[in-house]
């Protein structure tokens, strides 16, 4: 029987970095790309199920579904493959005038996607402010999620080097992704990674409880 986990995801970053476009393309599987910029007031909300990648718990730790054996059985692997994460994605406004308003959406978040535009260095420099803002609302104050560099199709105009983004992500224990919303490249990988990480957290919590 399929298992569905529920995860609250925040998408945060400065205005006009491509948060809403990325969220829209993810939600519609590329069918909808907003060609004109529209300011998000407060926050926008979508729901979508993401299958957990089959390799989500294939690391050194034993899976929730493991028997006291070295390898998972075919039945256990099938159960893992039938697990999905239902993501409640909150795309939050980036304008400073809405900073107090968006905080109400941050409560109880499980994962955070921090977004910046490599052609806009201010959006990268402001990332620490976004981390500082969301941290008090996260379980145990631990930031989990991804750092996304958007507008990969404008690489020739990039001011922020990809190495800088990768270093920032590593320092804050985030996965790094470079995507192109316009070309629908890399976006599914972001949310598949979140699903895998959330599954691993769930797996670890269950094992801790049982022991």
What does the pLDDT average to over 4-18? 96
Q: pLDDT at position 107, please?
A: 93
Average pLDDT on 12-39 reads 81
Percentages helix, strand, coil for the chain (3-state, rounded to 5) are 40, 20, 35
pLDDT digit string, tens, across residues 112-135: 999 999 999 999 999 999 999 999
Contact between 40 and 94 (Cβ < 8 Å): yes
């Amino acid at each position: 029987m399929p298992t569905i986990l529920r995860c609250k995801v925040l998408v945060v970053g400065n205005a006009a970095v491509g948060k809403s476009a990325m969220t829209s393309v993810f939600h519609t599987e590329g069918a909808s790309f907003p060609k004109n910029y529209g300011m998000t007031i407060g926050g926008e909300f979508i729901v979508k199920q993401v299958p957990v990648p089959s390799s989500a718990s294939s690391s050194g730790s034993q899976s929730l579904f493991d028997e006291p054996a070295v390898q998972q059985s075919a039945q256990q692997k099938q159960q893992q493959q039938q697990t999905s994460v239902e993501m409640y994605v909150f795309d939050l406004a980036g304008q400073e005038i809405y900073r107090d308003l968006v905080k109400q959406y941050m409560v109880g978040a499980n994962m955070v996607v921090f977004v910046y535009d490599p052609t806009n260095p201010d959006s990268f420099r402001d990332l620490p402010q976004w981390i500082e803002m969301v941290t008090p609302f996260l379980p145990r104050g631990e930031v989990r999620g991804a750092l996304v560099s958007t507008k990969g199709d404008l690489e020739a105009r990039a001011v922020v080097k990809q190495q800088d983004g990768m270093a920032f992500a590593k320092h804050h224990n985030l996965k790094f992704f470079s995507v192109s919303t316009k070309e629908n490249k890399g976006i599914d990988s972001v949310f598949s990674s979140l699903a895998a990480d959330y599954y691993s957290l769930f797996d670890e919590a269950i094992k801790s409880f049982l022991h």
